[in-house]
Structure 1
Amino acid sequence: MCAAISAQEKLQAAMQHKIVPNQEYLLQGSVLDSSKDVLIHRLRGLADNVDEQVETFQDRERVLTLGPVSGQTLTLYVRQAMDVRPGMDQSDTPWTMRYIGQPELGDKSRPTVLRNSIDVGCTPNVLEFLSEMGFKQDYEFMCKGLMFRKGRMKILVYKVYKNKTADNWEPLSMSHVVELSVLAPQGHDAVAEDVRNFAEQLKPLVQLEKTDYRRL
């Protein structure tokens, strides 16, 4: 009990002092499948884990919505790792629930999209829990790709698959999504420059830009 209270007090103190990394600085782009290997080679030369095996991931993501309540709809993203590690059972793979706030696009001088982002580790019954709260699944998809790291930055190169029938997944397009992001506490806007500078090093292989979600 003491340990739980201590952890809660630490979290509250961290939030009060704005040191919780709950803001995401993000740039996105895409690269054709035919050019993906060239980009991967470039990232191997720039990333910190160049001497190690590049981390792979395969995640199934469900998008659930609640509402509208008072004119607003709450959206949560529940992700399950599908790439079972040696010695692990599928039921032991981690689940993560994510909340993403509306992106702040008003400041045209900011080099990246800025949005609130909170990730929480969950137990496998999270879907049943959210269903009882009134959430309904809107859609789902699968992401399969590679992850690189450069300091605090995370670079993802992945392909999106849609669920055609049962466990039959097919590619959504003939390209790979490229995401460059940093999670930082509130007020650390200087990291946006680091994101932009790294994105410049990936040109002309991929053009990473601020995505205006209002146009989608």
Structure 2
Amino acid sequence: MAANAPPMTATDSLSQAVKANIIHNQEYLLQGSVLDSAVEVLLHRLRGLCDNVDAGPETFDDQEVCFILRDPNQQALPSMLRVRKALDARDMPYQLRYIGQADGEKNRPTVLRSVLDIACSGMLFEFLNELGCRIEYEYSVKGYMFRKGRMKITVAKVFKIPQSSMAPEPISQSYLVELSVLAPTGQDAIGEDMRAFADQLRPLVQLDKIDYKRLSHMAVT
């Protein structure tokens, strides 16, 4: 860089990242579930397949609140914003995630959707309320996270948020299993790698694309 060149601003850095196509704004996703009675077998299989076998999986205990921002003119689909807070690491910042509509390509091996993740301060809820966002639902999730290259695999139990001093209540007798990759636009070969890895977990768990449009339609009807 020339001696007299002006310092690079945050906007300049973001602009260069976009031009270089290194913003990880796409999520490739497969989902499934495993019964409580079979989860230990699945965890054992993942320990053998994933990285850092000796260290074991990471654990997490989070609370997530899902907000909906609706178009007052009802001309656009609602936007979903998720706020996640680590319950086992109180000093960690809130994580705000925007999730776009899933890609409708039927031949794609995974769900593909736009995402943006941002670390935020504790004033986030007030800010979202001022924007007009409203809470749709909330829950807590506790489980294990594995890594295989750039793939992330989570096996998690989902709980209802307890009232006062009541113990958390699981919403089902199974664990949610997710296989995901965050990547820049145009990395479609990732989907084939994810499908190949998912096949190694059968018949313990079947990871598939979820048709979110169909689920939304069923919820409305």
Asked if TM exceeds 0.5, the reply is yes
Quick one: which of 54, 57, 62 aligns to 1:59?
Answer: 62
DSSP 3-state at the match of 2:70: strand
Contact 1:146 1:156 in 2 (8 A): yes
Matches within 5 A, 1:89-168: 90=90, 92-105=91-104, 107-166=105-164, 168=166
Q: Displacement, 1:19?
A: 2.1
Task: Number of aligned residue pairs: give it.
Answer: 207
DSSP 3-state at the match of 2:102: coil
Q: Displacement, 1:167?
A: 5.4
Unmatched runs of 5 consecutive residues or more in structure 1: 85-89
What TM-score do the two structures reach when normalised by structure 2? 0.89
Q: Counterpart of 1:26?
A: 29
| Structure 2 Cα separation of the partners of residues 134 and 110 of structure 1 | 35
Q: Percent identity?
A: 53
Q: Displacement, 1:18?
A: 2.6
Cα deviations across residues 53-108 of structure 1 (Å, max 9, x unaligned)?
Answer: 32000110001112233423222000000013xxxxx3x23210000111112x22
Q: Displacement, 1:13?
A: 1.8
Contact 2:47 2:56 in 1 (8 A): no
Contact 1:82 1:93 in 2 (8 A): no
Amino acid at match of 1:210: K
Q: Does 1:74 align with 2:79?
A: yes
DSSP 3-state at the match of 2:188: coil
| Structure 1 Cα separation of the partners of residues 131 and 142 of structure 2 | 30
Mean Cα displacement is larger for which, 145-154 or 46-55? 46-55
| Structure 2 Cα separation of the partners of residues 65 and 18 of structure 1 | 29
| Structure 2 Cα separation of the partners of residues 59 and 167 of structure 1 | 18
Unmatched runs of 5 consecutive residues or more in structure 2: 1-5, 216-221
**Aligned-residue RMSD, C-alpha:** 1.5
Quick one: which of 43, 47, 59 aligns to 1:44?
Answer: 47
Contact 2:35 2:173 in 1 (8 A): yes
Amino acid at match of 1:74: S
